[in-house]
Amino acid sequence: MSEKRQPKATIVIFGATGDLAKRKLFPSIYNLYKKGKLSENFAVVGLARRPWTDEILRENVEQSIKQASFSSADEDLREFTSHFYYNSFDVTDDSTYDGLNKLMIDLEDKYQTEGNRLFYLAMAPNFFGLIAKKLKEYGLKESSGWTRLIIEKPFGTNLSSAKELNNEIREAFDEDQIYRIDHYLGKEMVQNIEVIRFANGIFEHLWNNQYISNIQITASETLGVEERARYYDESGAVRDMLQNHILQMVALLLMEPPIKLTTDEIRSEKIKVLRALRKIDSEKIDKYFVRGQYDSGEMNGEALPSYREEDEQLANSTTETYVAGKLVIDNYRWAGVPIYVRTGKRMAKKTIDITIQFKDLPMNLYYKSEKERHPNLLSIKIQPDEGITLSINANKAGAGSLAEPVQLSLNNNDVPGINTPEAYEKLLYDCTIGDATNFTHWDEVALSWEFVDPILETWAEQQPNFPNYKSGSMGPKEADELLERDGNHWWDV
Ligand SMILES: NC(=O)C1=CN([C@@H]2O[C@H](COP(=O)(O)OP(=O)(O)OC[C@H]3O[C@@H](n4cnc5c(N)ncnc54)[C@H](OP(=O)(O)O)[C@@H]3O)[C@@H](O)[C@H]2O)C=CC1
Ligand SMILES: O=C1O[C@H](COP(=O)(O)O)[C@@H](O)[C@H](O)[C@H]1O
């Protein structure tokens, strides 16, 4: 295996006692190690305030791997976790950074990591700027190898706070050292969007306003706010999902073919899409966007509380747990094609689905009435099913009708040997090999905030009529009306 594919590095996790580290990062590092995508020459330093020891961290790493249900022999796990070290560390306390630098130098010597340093900020965003500054101030980013910084979301709460944060980070790190993570970009089928489009003439030739009627993106969740009330109530569905994950999928779906599959070329095409997204004036926001908050309801026979009942601090909340919108792209390829998006918590189904509806043929030869006509649909299934389904019309033998929709499907879950890696695993690996393609460039972050800021500002001025959708439903009726006004409807996902 080449050096490049089996990187050597010290990975420093700020927030190593937290939820993200436990659920996603430790199992992902383990998987990379097991697959030989991380050299034996690695060390992981976990940082947080808790007075843990190396041993306690190692036990927690072992537990998290077992909980992620990777079967593994105990000796394997012990060998793996022996590379983990814990440093009790308060990021606001200057006196702790020198000690960290010393520990890293010792580990670099012990594990021969060639001075490569990856700092993963798995902490609350208000610490991001400070940590970046301190890493520079205490010489932690000066090493004989590469230095990279992975930053978790949310990247700011609006354009101005995002700019401020970006300026702080850019004072310490160059843009090409900064990896702003959006875990949707690590999902197998999100990465597949480009392949489906640019490796298939049958789709790409039709991928424009001449042949496509509308595009629908659904990212629905059955879970409610869970333990994250404090974060989520400050955030809401627009900041939590629309500004980042959904707009990233929009950019990949609508971008022009890049001239090469390089990071810069792909990013540059995505940026053009975000620039072409029409910003909606305040007085028109309600024509283009619908917000919702879940009421009590029922799922699988289980009674579910409303958002406001989930936690004392949410009792009077006006935070949206659902958003649907009609996006308009002002460019030659997409003029006139509405892009409908919706995302929300406590909906009927956990699914991420992209449905492309093709335009109807000019004449109805095969159906008794116009109502029976069924357009061709291409559905890209991101999660939990992974695959694509193309809905075409055909004469089903023996069915007696002239034409009816049939589905041509590829489901990754049915392909033997496919075991899709966790998004974080892919992205961590990309970062260790210096591939920033599936991380968001600052320009993408800024344009996305520019787009959502007017929605948030307008809504902040109006009192919403919440709650307005039942837990276990597909959202408020106004979201259906949004499409009905254009003569469209949401397709089942
Ligand atoms: N959890 C998830 O599924 C997701 C999380 N994210 C993002 O990842 C980041 C981390 O989230 P999550 O793991 O859930 O958060 P948690 O609250 O679970 O963890 C926060 C971590 O920060 C540490 N910490 C807090 N204050 C300090 C301090 N002053 N000095 C050093 N360490 C400190 C805590 O440890 P201690 O108390 O011991 O100091 C803990 O390890 C956030 O930006 C979040 O938005 C993004 C997507 C999904
Ligand atoms: O970033 C986030 O994403 C999750 C949904 O991720 P998925 O991979 O399960 O689709 C969402 O629950 C969370 O609120 C948000 O912060």
- Give me the CATH number covering residue 342: 3.30.360.10
Does 136 lie in the same domain as 60? yes
Q: Which atom of ligand 1 is nearest to the CA of 17?
A: 41
Q: Which two tokens stand for residue 457?
A: 């500002």
Q: How far is the CA of 411 from the centre of ligand 1 (A)?
A: 35
CA-closest residue to ligand 2 atom 12: 221
Q: Would the annotation count 359 as a binding residue? A: no
Q: Which two tokens stand for residue 24?
A: 């996603």
Q: How far is the CA of 14 from the centre of ligand 1 (A)?
A: 8
Q: Which is it for strands 42-48 and 84-88: parallel, antiparallel or unpaired?
A: parallel
Q: How far is the CA of 95 from the centre of ligand 1 (A)?
A: 21
Mean pLDDT of 342-364: 95
Q: Which two tokens stand for residue 345?
A: 């918590």
Examine residue 259 and state whether it is found in any structural domain, yes or no.
yes
Examine residue 170 and state whether it is found in any structural domain, yes or no.
no
Mean pLDDT of 223-227: 93
* Tens-place pLDDT, residues 256-297: 999 999 999 999 999 999 999 999 999 999 999 999 999 999
Whether 422 is in the pocket of ligand 2, judged by its Cβ within 6 Å, is no
Which pLDDT belongs to residue 365? 79
Which pLDDT belongs to residue 417? 60
Q: Would the annotation count 180 as a binding residue? A: no
Q: How far is the CA of 392 from the centre of ligand 2 (A)?
A: 32
Q: Write the CA distances from 120 to 26, 91, 133, 176, 452, integer angstroms.
A: 12, 13, 14, 15, 27
Whether 182 is in the pocket of ligand 2, judged by its Cβ within 6 Å, is no
Does 143 lie in the same domain as 212? no
Does 62 lie in the same domain as 115? yes
Does 386 lie in the same domain as 316? yes
Q: Would the annotation count 350 as a binding residue? A: yes
Q: Which atom of ligand 2 is nearest to the CA of 228?
A: 14
Residue of 205, 245, 441, 489 marked catalytic: 245
**Higher-scoring residue by pLDDT: 319, 228:** 319
pLDDT value at 1 more than 70: no
Q: How far is the CA of 405 from the centre of ligand 1 (A)?
A: 48
How many domains would you assign to the chain?
2
Ligand whose nearest atom lies closest to the CA of 155: 1
Does 373 lie in the same domain as 427? yes
Write down the mean pLDDT value for the chain.
94
Which pLDDT belongs to residue 72? 64
Q: Which atom of ligand 1 is nearest to the CA of 125?
A: 43
Q: Which atom of ligand 2 is nearest to the CA of 352?
A: 10
The vertex-132 CA angle with 128 and 134, nearest 5°, equals 120
Whether 310 is in the pocket of ligand 2, judged by its Cβ within 6 Å, is no
Examine residue 427 and state whether it is found in any structural domain, yes or no.
yes
Does 128 lie in the same domain as 68? yes
Examine residue 434 and state whether it is found in any structural domain, yes or no.
yes
Rg (CA), the chain: 24
| Residue 79 burial (CB count, 10 A) | 12
Examine residue 135 and state whether it is found in any structural domain, yes or no.
yes
pLDDT value at 331 more than 60: yes
Q: From 108, 134, 152, give the residue that closes a domain.
A: 152
Whether 240 is in the pocket of ligand 2, judged by its Cβ within 6 Å, is yes
Whether 152 is in the pocket of ligand 2, judged by its Cβ within 6 Å, is no
Which pLDDT belongs to residue 197? 96
Q: Would the annotation count 19 as a binding residue? A: yes
CATH number for the domain harbouring residue 42: 3.40.50.720
Q: Would the annotation count 16 as a binding residue? A: yes
* Tens-place pLDDT, residues 167-213: 999 999 999 999 999 999 999 999 999 999 999 999 999 999 999 99
pLDDT band at 420 (very low <50, low <70, confident <90, very high): low
Mean pLDDT of 307-326: 97
Q: How far is the CA of 323 from the centre of ligand 2 (A)?
A: 14
245: CB partners within 8 A, 6+ apart: 182, 183, 184, 219, 343
Does 438 lie in the same domain as 315? yes
Dihedral Cα 68, 70, 76, 79, nearest 10 deg? -20
* Tens-place pLDDT, residues 390-418: 999 988 777 666 788 899 999 887 776 66
382: CB partners within 8 A, 6+ apart: 184, 187, 189, 190, 352, 353, 354
Please state which of the ranges 7-11, 227-231, 335-339 shows the lowest mean pLDDT. Answer: 227-231
Ligand 1-lining residues (CB < 6 angstroms)? 15-20, 48-50, 89-92, 122-125, 152-154
Whether 353 is in the pocket of ligand 2, judged by its Cβ within 6 Å, is no
Examine residue 173 and state whether it is found in any structural domain, yes or no.
no
CA-closest residue to ligand 2 atom 14: 240
pLDDT value at 2 more than 50: no
pLDDT value at 319 more than 70: yes
Q: How far is the CA of 283 from the centre of ligand 2 (A)?
A: 30
Does 306 lie in the same domain as 444? yes
pLDDT value at 30 more than 90: yes
Q: Which two tokens stand for residue 252?
A: 């990949």
Examine residue 162 and state whether it is found in any structural domain, yes or no.
no
In the chain, the largest separation of any two C-alpha atoms, in whole Å, equals 80
Q: Are 384 and 223 in contact (CB under 8 A)?
A: no
Whether 221 is in the pocket of ligand 2, judged by its Cβ within 6 Å, is yes
| Residue 40 burial (CB count, 10 A) | 12
Does 385 lie in the same domain as 237? yes
Which pLDDT belongs to residue 412? 83
Q: Would the annotation count 48 as a binding residue? A: no
Does 220 lie in the same domain as 99? no
Examine residue 301 and state whether it is found in any structural domain, yes or no.
yes
Does 319 lie in the same domain as 363? yes
**Domain of residue 470, residue span:** 185-485
pTM for the model: 0.95
Catalytic residue check, 205: no
* Tens-place pLDDT, residues 440-464: 999 999 999 999 999 999 999 999 9
Q: From 136, 152, 168, give the residue that closes a domain.
A: 152
Q: Are 118 and 11 in contact (CB under 8 A)?
A: yes
Q: From 111, 128, 152, give the residue that closes a domain.
A: 152
Ligand 2 pocket: which of 23, 152, 183 to mutate (most atoms <8 Å of CB)? Answer: 183
Whether 108 is in the pocket of ligand 2, judged by its Cβ within 6 Å, is no
Q: Would the annotation count 43 as a binding residue? A: no
Does 236 lie in the same domain as 140? no
Ligand whose nearest atom lies closest to the CA of 153: 1
Q: Which is it for strands 322-327 and 289-292: parallel, antiparallel or unpaired?
A: antiparallel
Q: How far is the CA of 182 from the centre of ligand 2 (A)?
A: 10
